[in-house]
Amino acid sequence: TPVVAAAAIAAATSRLRIILTVTLPRRQVQDVAQDTAGIDALSRRRLTVLATIGSMDREYSEYGLDADRRGAGSRR
């Protein structure tokens, strides 16, 4: 998974900037926070996280979420 790859890169390098893109509908927010905090600490603050909300209806419906994004920000 991308999180495992980012952690491996963080552990194996000392100067490389790590950029991790996370599609939020696919992950629980608390899991994203825990994973990224761990990688950020392991990398000594070299992690940049790009959080996206997704763009295709199936990215929501396949995870049991409402695909109507009109009110998504207010539901979180």
* 39: helix, strand or coil: helix
- Specify the pLDDT at position 1: 85
Q: Is the pLDDT of residue 17 over 90?
A: yes
| pLDDT digit string, tens, across residues 52-74 | 877 777 767 777 777 776 665 55
**Structure confidence at residue 60 (pLDDT):** 73
Instruction: List the structure tokens of 60.
Output: 């929501």
DSSP 1: -
Backbone angles phi, psi at 14, to 5 degrees: -130, -15
Mean pLDDT of 6-13: 97
